[in-house]
Structure 1
Amino acid sequence: MVKRKVQRQARKVLGEDTVALVWCEIGKPIPTPPKSVHRAAGKGRMKPGHHWLLYVGGVLFFFVVVPMMLLDKLGDVLDRGPSHGEGGSTRNRTAGSPGPDSDDSTRGIFDGDWNLTAGQLLLRWYGHSPNPKRLVMLTGDRLCLAASPRRTLSPTKADDFRITAEFPFSEARIEAEAGQPRGFATFRIRFADGSWLELGRLAEPEDADHFLRTVSA
């Protein structure tokens, strides 16, 4: 459960106590928008930032691990000697197999219309913060989205977040079911123009359970 300093910051930025709050993320990569739409929105980043240790790990993998794997593979090939008749059929099967469906990896994030509220939010999502986590806060009459400027954060302790978007309940509402399996729970923000945005990876079980019970009541 979030610490009291997070609750205090929420009260400070909202001007009132929250009814429920939860840290969450977009569960899949944001689809690539049309170039004209992206340009009109300021060409903001469409992917989250990563901690510097991840880049160090990538460099070590490609310059240390990969060469070792290639050398090991080369040794196996030299030990076996030339082989005939198998490579062609394998290559043919590989070439003929269907590639991954790029639509499957991005389906279900939002309604697909970049010009409506959900699409416009996504176009600026990582412009507010490179961190993928967002804090959804509910008061008695509005829904607010907040983000921390840091690349890494602890959902229980982060207290430097600021509001990035807010909507009265007449313009946005939460659609969710209580009792969803932890680790797989999702909810949607449904906007008045018919667009919707799906969020998941809910942090802190107590906050997630309370949030889902509140919005599904």
Structure 2
Amino acid sequence: MAKRAVRRRARKVLGEDPVALVWCEIQKTVPAPPKDVHRAAGKGRLKPGHHWLLYVGGVVFFFVVIPIMLIGKLEDLTTITRPSSRRRSPGPRGRRSRPPRDGATDPTNGVFDGDWNLTAGQLLLRRYGHSPNRKRMVMLARDRICVAASPRRRLSPNKAAGFRSVAEFPLDQARVEGEAGQPRGFATFRIRFADGSWLEMGRLAEPEDADHFLGTVSD
């Protein structure tokens, strides 16, 4: 279960004890919105922030690892004394069947309903303006659903006590749909809004919280 400090923070954010809560993420790539829609929403960031160590790793890879690899290739070439006298004739080249790219048949990639002007689409447009982190806490109260986020780039679901509410919906405006007993690691749920839009969440953290959350919404 979530640590006591996290539950205390959830109680402070909601003003009451949550009925259920769970840390979750959007587990698929969010499709790029149309440019005019993105501009109208304030041109907010569309991708999560990365820790500075990732950028350091990229610099080391491009300026250290790649030059070493190229030097190794050049050394291999200088050891060749003569070219091979035989050339293999290329065999018949048929077309390889390529698997469809993720989201090729579904432009929304299964993330949301596809309408950027409705509630779910607007939440996605402003998602990383609220927090550079992928994780969100969805909390169920007696009369509303609360989506909370931490302003930090990195957090641990067990220790994150600095999250705050970024969106709240009364129960006549949103509901959570999910099934109990889903395989851990693959469980998902949807937040469905009154305007017909929906948003799918997955990667549910803390198995006990996830089981309790899904059991609550499936009742």
| Both proteins in one fold, TM over 0.5 | yes
Matches within 5 A, 1:137-152: 137-152=139-154
For the 8 Å contact 2:29–2:109, the answer to whether it is kept is no
Match of 1:165 in 2: 167
Specify which structure has the higher proportion of helix.
Answer: 1
Match of 1:193 in 2: 195
Tell me the distance in 2 between the aligned counterparts of 1:115 and 1:213: 31
Tell me the distance in 2 between the aligned counterparts of 1:145 and 1:127: 14
Aligned residues: 215
Match of 1:21 in 2: 21
| Letter of the structure 1 residue corresponding to residue 8 of structure 2 | R
1:8-54 per-residue CA deviation (whole Å, 9 max, x = no partner) reads 11111111110000011111222110111001101000000011111
Cα deviation for residue 119 of structure 1 reads 0.2
Cα deviation for residue 3 of structure 1 reads 1.1
Q: Structure 1 87/102 Cα, relative in aligned 2: closer, same or farther at 3 Å?
A: farther
| Letter of the structure 1 residue corresponding to residue 12 of structure 2 | K
The 3-state SS of whatever aligns with 1:143 is strand
Range 74-83 or range 157-166, more displaced: 74-83
Range 70-79 or range 189-198, more displaced: 70-79
Match of 2:69 in 1: 69
Tell me the distance in 2 between the aligned counterparts of 1:93 and 1:134: 47
For the 8 Å contact 2:10–2:17, the answer to whether it is kept is yes
For the 8 Å contact 1:28–1:106, the answer to whether it is kept is no
Structure of larger gyration radius:
2
Cα deviation for residue 69 of structure 1 reads 2.5
Cα deviation for residue 78 of structure 1 reads 4.7
Tell me the distance in 1 between the aligned counterparts of 2:100 and 2:65: 26
For the 8 Å contact 1:17–1:139, the answer to whether it is kept is yes
Cα deviation for residue 118 of structure 1 reads 0.3
Tell me the distance in 2 between the aligned counterparts of 1:26 and 1:172: 18
1:75-131 per-residue CA deviation (whole Å, 9 max, x = no partner) reads 4455456568679889x889x875963634951000110011100000000000001
The 3-state SS of whatever aligns with 2:168 is strand
The 3-state SS of whatever aligns with 2:103 is helix
Pairwise CA RMSD: 2.6
Matches within 5 A, 1:1-80: 1-79=1-79
Q: Structure 1 50/87 Cα, relative in aligned 2: closer, same or farther at 3 Å?
A: farther
The 3-state SS of whatever aligns with 1:103 is coil
| Letter of the structure 1 residue corresponding to residue 163 of structure 2 | F
Q: Structure 1 87/206 Cα, relative in aligned 2: closer, same or farther at 3 Å?
A: farther
Q: Structure 1 102/88 Cα, relative in aligned 2: closer, same or farther at 3 Å?
A: farther
Q: Which 5+ residue runs of structure 1 have no aligned equivalent?
A: none
For the 8 Å contact 1:144–1:165, the answer to whether it is kept is yes
Tell me the distance in 1 between the aligned counterparts of 2:47 and 2:89: 38
TM-score by structure 2 length? 0.88
Range 75-84 or range 4-13, more displaced: 75-84
Range 69-78 or range 31-40, more displaced: 69-78
Identity across matched positions, percent: 71
